Each structure stands twice: as C-alpha cells, then as structure tokens.
Structure 1
Amino acid sequence: MKTTIEFKNSELAGLANVLGGFKLKGKASLGRTVLIRKFAKKQEEVSDDLVDIQKKYFETDKEGKLRVFDGGEGKLIPKSELADKNDPKKLGPKAAKELDNDIKDLNNEVSIIDFSEYSPRFKALKVSLEDYPYELESDSAIAYERVYDQLEQAFSKGDK
C-alpha cells in the first residue's frame, strides 16, 4: 500500500520549522525527522522550479545562472524584451504580473509525500500528535492541525 500526504508548496518551510520544535520521543521523533527531511527535499525541488520560472524573465550567464546587477544586492537583470520601458532595471508591468502569477501557481501546487516505507514511524507520529500534551498557539497550532489531518486521512485510507 502506498501511503501519501499532501501539502501546498508554500506550507513546507513553515511546517518543517514548527514541527521541529515539537517535543516528541522515540518513533514519533523519528517520524518527525523523516517528515522534515522529506519537506526539505520537496523545498529543494520547489526552489529549482522557481529558478526555472525566473529564467523565463531574467537574464542568465553562459553557465545558465541568473545574472544580477553589480552592487544591486542580488537584484536580477530583466531580459531586455521584458524590461520596463521607463525603468529597464525592472520588469514591465505585463511581465511582472505573469511572473507573479507563475510564482503564485508554484506556491499553490501540491507536494505529495510518500511515506510507505516509514509507515510505523509516521503512525507513531500521528499517535503522539493525537495526544500531544502541550498547548499550541498561532503557527504551531496551524502546523499541528495540517500535519495531523494529513496523517489521519492517510491512515484512515489504509484502514478501509
């Protein structure tokens, strides 16, 4: 049986950071560590996808790396055909809107995380979160809810 959970790309970093602060022991802690590693791997993929998107709008050097303005603190150089006519150091309004939409789409895409091989660890994580004895607020409570709901759904599919 293939067991998966899903999160939006925009959630990955925040969930990993908050989950890392939870007080867990044994298999639950191992499950959390595996999940955080899987989040990190997905984040790398998202970062690569972001660079690919940026390459559609900004100049690259001979090695294919994005070019930045000298002294521009990492500000990317727009492709000349997409640059703003009044300020060539910025993207034109149409290109800027398209870039923004492409980035929003990437952030809203769902990352699917397979944890079939780690199922006992993730089951222990679910059980520990189910009876988590500490009070959670704001981002921690939201992360808790997102991770727990996904684990609960994944394991309830397997019970059917």
Structure 2
Amino acid sequence: MKNTIEFKNSELAGLANILGDFKLKGKASLGRTVLIRKFSKKQEEVNDDLADIQKKYFETNKEGKLRVLEGGEGKLIPKTEFADKKDPKKLGEKAAKELDDEIKNLNNEVSIIDFSEYYPRFKALKVALEDYPYELESDSAIAYERVYDQLEQAFSKGDK
C-alpha cells in the first residue's frame, strides 16, 4: 500500500521554507527533512513545467534558455506572433491571458508525495506535530495545519 500526501504546486516552496523553522528532534526531524527534500524535488518539476509554458510565448536562445531583454531586469522577450502590436516588448492581451491561465492551472495542480519508504519518520512527524508545544501564528500556523491535515488523512486511511 502506498502512503501519500497531496499539496497544490503553489504551496510547495512556502511549506518547505516554513517547516524548516519548526523545532523538532529525532525521527520527527528526519521526517521533516525528507518532506522538505520531496517538496524541493516537486518544486523543481514545477519550475521545469513553468519554463516549458513560458517557452511557448517567449523567445529562447540556441541552448533552449529563455531570452531576456538587455537591461530589462529579467524581462522575457515575447515571440513575434504573441507580442503586443503597439509595444513588441510585451505580450499581447490574448497571449498574456492564455499564459496567465496556464500558470494558474499549473499552480493549482496537485503534487502527490509518496512517503511509503519513510513511513516511520512521517509517523513520528505526525505525532510530533500532534503535540507541538510551540505557539504558531499566520503562515506558520497555516503550514502546520496543511501538513498535519495531510498526514492525519494519510495515516487514518491506513488505520481502517
């Protein structure tokens, strides 16, 4: 049986950053470290997917890397067919909306994280979060809730 938890792509980086600040020890800390690594791996995949989406609308160089305007502080160069007619340094309205929609869809997709091989570490992480003695606020509280909720669901499936 596979043990999995799910998070939206848009949550991965933030959760990884915040979880690193939690005060955990032993197996719970090891579980957190594995989870952060898995978040990072998934985030790399999302970044690759984002680059693929951008390459549909923006120019690339011979190596396939996205081209940026000189002095444009990282601003990408639109492909001619997608450029705004009045300002070719910008995407046209239709292309900009399509790009925005594709990025929103990517961010809303769910990343599934399998922790079967690290079951004891994730179980220890769940137990440690269950009785987490420190007060959490704002983003930390939200990250705590998201991770704990997913772990609780994953372990309750196995208990049935």
Tell me the TM-score normalized by structure 2. 0.99
Q: Which structure 2 residues correspond to residues 65-144 of structure 1 after superposition, within 5 A?
A: 65-144=65-144
Aligned to 2:9: 9
- Deviation (angstroms), 1:62: 1.3
Q: Percent identity over the alignment? A: 89
Ranges in structure 2 where 5+ consecutive residues have no aligned partner: none
- Report the Cα offset of residue 74 of structure 1: 1.2
Paired residue for 2:42? 42
- Displacement over 4 Å in runs of 4+: none
Aligned length: 160
Distance in structure 2 (CA, Å) of the matches to 1:150 and 1:77 = 40
**Matching residue of 1:32:** 32
CA distance in 2, matches of 1:18, 1:76: 30
Distance in 1, Cα, partners of 2:117 & 2:132: 24
Which whole-Å CA distance do the structure 2 matches of 1:70 and 1:128 have between them? 50
Give the Å deviation of 1:72.
Answer: 1.2
Structure 1 match to 2:150: 150
User: Cα distance, 1:19 vs. partner?
Assistant: 0.6
2:20 corresponds in structure 1 to 20
1:67-108 deviations in Å (ceiling 9; x for gaps): 111111111000001000010000000000000000000000
Shift of 1:65: 0.9
SS in 2 for 1:98: helix
What TM-score results when the alignment is normalised by the length of structure 1? 0.99
State how far apart, in whole Å, the 1-side matches of 2:113 and 2:62 are. 35
SS in 1 for 2:7: strand
Partners in 1 of 2:61 and 2:12 — Cα distance?
30
The alpha carbon displacement at 1:61 in A equals 1.1
The residue type equivalent to 2:13 in the other structure is A
Q: What's the secondary structure of 1:85's corresponding residue?
A: coil
Unaligned runs of 5+ in 1: none
C-alpha deviations, 1:29-75, integer Å up to 9, x for none? 00000000000000000000000000000011111111111111111
What is the root-mean-square deviation of aligned Cα atoms in Å? Answer: 0.5
- Distance in 2 (alpha carbons) for counterparts of 1:68 and 1:138: 36
| Cα distance in 2 between the residues matched to 1:24 and 1:139 | 18
SS in 2 for 1:24: coil
Once the two structures are TM-superposed, the CA of residue 127 in structure 1 deviates from its matched residue by 0.1
